[in-house]
Chains A and B, each alone.
Chain A
Amino acid sequence: MKEQLDNILKEAQDSYYHIKNLKDLENFRIKFLGRNGLLASLSSKFKDFPLEVRKEIGQYFNFVKEEINNLYLSKKEFLITQKKIFFDLSHPGEKIEKGRIHLISKEILKIKKIFSNLGFNIEEGRELVSEKENFDLLNIPPNHPSRDLWDTFWINKKEYLLRTHTSAHQVEYLLKYKPPVKFIVIGKVYRHEATDQRHEMQFHQIEGVSVGLQSNLSELKSVFQIFFENYFNKKIEIVFRNSYFPFTEPSLEVDISCVICKGKGCSLCKKSGYLEIAGAGMIHPYVLQQAKININKYYGYAFGIGLERIIMLKFNIPDVRLFHSMDLRFINQF
């Protein structure tokens, strides 16, 4: 009996897909659900079974009937609606508007996470700082040519300026946290420069500082390696070159193996196989002393990375001015 019911259900399900119009539908109803339909004719045989079997079969019978009835009703609904308005499945979906977070903010989030995992505090700092914070405390005295390394926007308050680097907060946060400590300062900096594809008067910088009992060039090399390998999601080689900054000694330029050609030489790295990516060094004892740090006990390293520069490399962006262009044709790509 159960088998017969299953067969009827299967037949109904098969024929359901062949119902094309209301006439087919009516035939379907008569065949399965009608007074003399397949189900009705089966029900007349119930009385032949013993009571307990009859109860069980009855339940299953009702289930099958319900199923078939639902098939009938849903097809009926579909055919009637379709008759009223043509439902075009090829019509494009409705446009759902989407808000967006700027690429810079998205990348800052990733960068913060990597440095946070390495134990760095994350700081913001102020954009308007004193000459003392931006220069003097960093061993860049007034009337010294090393000031020419930064083209500065001065404001109409004596001895104040738009920070030229996030290093301006080194001493401030070293005083706040006391060693051993690691932190990054991430934010906008300003340079009085003519702008072109590679130069901007306003960009973001990541300043990193680590002061402790073993914060040295060897640890710096590994911090760079971890950071860049995570950020570019690639194996990366770090190369230090000799350089000069007034607030570090030794001072370094940091190169990474080219993110495109992995050191073989391509147009991005101008055939050198390496990309200039950061400035770094051991913090000058003068600077540590400004932060009241015992230079016989602690030492530390600091580095500065241009945010736009690494984003441009990662996403193949040709012009740094796009970031602050407010152009949705750029912003909506990411």
Chain B
Amino acid sequence: MADDHSHSDHQEGFWSKYWFSTDHKVIGIQYGITAMLFLLFGFGLMLLMRWQLASPGVEIPLLGALTPEMYNQFGAMHGTIMVFLGVVPLAVGAFGNYVVPLQIGAPDMAFPRLNMASYHVYFWGGVVMLASFFVPEGAAKSGWTSYPPLANIETMGQTMWLWGMVLLITSSLLGAVNFLVTIIQLRTEGMTYFKMPFFVWAQFVTAFLLLLAFPPLEAAGFLQLADRLLGTSFFMPSGLVTAEGPLEVAGGGSPLLWQHLFWFLAHPEVYVLILPAMGIVAEVLANNTRKPLWGYKLMVYSVIFLGFMSFIVWAHHMFITGMGTAISAFFQVTTMIISIPSVVILSALFITLFGGSIRFNTAMWFALGFIPMFGIGGLTGLPLGLAPTDIPLHDTYYVIGHFHYVVAPGTIFALFAGIYYWYPKVTGRTMNETLGRIHFWGSMIAMNGIFLPMLHQGMVGMSRRLFDGGLTYSFTEGVIHYNSVMAVSAFVLLLFQLPFIYNFLTSIKWGRKVTKSNYWEATTLEWSAAPTPPVGHGNFATIPTVYHGPYEYSVPGHELDYCPQEVPIQLPDVADQTVEP
């Protein structure tokens, strides 16, 4: 409901230009920078935990030895920060904000001021989360899932966690409404739904998931806040006893209620993490194989089906809670069904490679890395979706390995691909290819060094929650030395992020200048119709009209190997090419 002001013709100060900006491109960059800093911070927490697991009790320089309380804080906050403050804001807030309006030919998001508000609420949610480390007895310690009754009787950090989550949920709600309205209302002339790039489709479905899946967690958050602050017993069963004696609460509540509400969000959340990544990979693959995306419509139908199904699979996280075999059977079936569209999308991406003349650049390497890594993540998930195999694997390192294969070398690789792919768009300069390849191969090897051993440790039965890395259990004897491999790999991973950070920062000033606007010779509007680097608020000199689908690469008979969406395809006269019958 913005007033109609003209934004372009007056000089803006630093604050209004870079901090209180309503330009979707600036907001995208704000999200990107903030989210990357949070990713680095969450990665740092993980390094400290890996140090502790590999050599329990050995002092960490500057920090001293970890206490169990600190370890629990780091574990809970690593998960929370990586998911809610790192990956989602980078995938949706940064790439979605920057790229979606450009790809559909819109001058901005539908509600620019709401967009700004969304970033600022996210930012303060992050501040609350970070501040929780400094309250008495530290941050939340009950895991990123905050299961009650443990979370209910936790220290003040848990309350901060809940308030932080309320802010983050509000932010993503504002963002989701904005994305949906933008995609539905601001598509330019000719940009019908089936002419939208797959990335836009992925963001569209993601926004629906954020819109409808987050509110139940907000409801659960309110209930847990009431439990903690008003003394209610929504999640407190009768007769609870702690080390200090029986708890003085009314009782009669249900810890399972929290798990249902939490996973009703958190399973769609997994698809919020993965769908934008698939979208980025689709863009990069089509562009660098110089081929149309294989099965574009099939992928779109799959992603819609995936979004729908993701609302009815949540209880596969709860097979060991004793909720009953009938419910387990239902959720096993839906879980097996939802694996089908994921496989369809991944296969379509894979088949896209077939017969292409592939351009190998860093973005493409990361996109290629995504496919097998996400494949491992997906396949290792199948045993967790079936109750008989989930029961022994639940709460072991196998789950951690599975999930991280999906998100770390899966989603985060795709996000790196996106950064290398769109960096020239944003800055007008390219990132260094050599450093990019060092970054890719180093990260690839190190990530597998961290996550592959987890799968084995988990199958042996090592619990995911051990502060000493499993020293006290004899059955971990055969796999406990993996902890050292994983710790070394984790620090190697840090080492290989240094070329990326250096590359990212220095290329802004010293990177090779982009000589032509459509640097990658792409077909989608953000490259073909918008100037590179972008100029000011409004995106396009004249709003383009779209004539054909998003991936018209190597059209037979066309002189160039790419046909931008805003240029009608003109083939040489067909009469000249008539074939003798």
Q: Indicate whether A and B interact.
A: no
Which positions in A face B, CB cutoff 8 Å?
none
Which positions in B face A, CB cutoff 8 Å?
none
